[in-house]
Amino acid sequence: MEELGLPDLTSEQVEQLCSTAEESARKYVLRRISSKKIETLNISVEADGTKPLTLAVDVDIQLLSPQAEAIDVQKLADEAVKEAFASAEKYLRELACPTRK
């Protein structure tokens, strides 16, 4: 992610950033697969540092249903990670330029 010209983030902003990314990834997965077919959905988001801020997103999906075998779980997890980063970047851009809200 390019430099957004952010001020130092408060601990509350970092927490909100992580929550935003996690929620976005979770919604992405649940829009594509019914929760009834999911045995495990673990999403972790960690932020480290301030400048640069490093964001790590991990999505682990395990399916219950044999019919769901046609679903490429790794691809779905990768797409959910991309969605999490996109929402995190949007949140950071809003912090960098509050007039865009």
Domain boundaries, the chain: 11-95
Please enumerate in sequence order all residues whose Cβ is within 8 A of that of 54, keeping only pairs 6 or more positions apart, or say none: 47, 48
Asked if 27 contacts 43 with a C-beta cutoff of 8 angstroms, the reply is no
Counting residues of the chain whose pLDDT is more than 70, the rounded percentage is 84
Q: Is the pLDDT of residue 101 over 50?
A: no
Average pLDDT over residues 55-73: 83
Q: Is the pLDDT of residue 66 over 60?
A: yes
Give tens-digit pLDDT for 76-93: 999 999 999 999 999 988
Strands 38-48 and 54-63: antiparallel
Q: Which fold has domain 11-95?
A: GMP Synthetase; Chain A, domain 3 (3.30.300)
Residue whose C-alpha is closest to residue 25's, from 87, 69, 74, 67: 87
pTM beyond 0.85: the answer is no
pLDDT, position 88: 93
pLDDT, position 1: 42
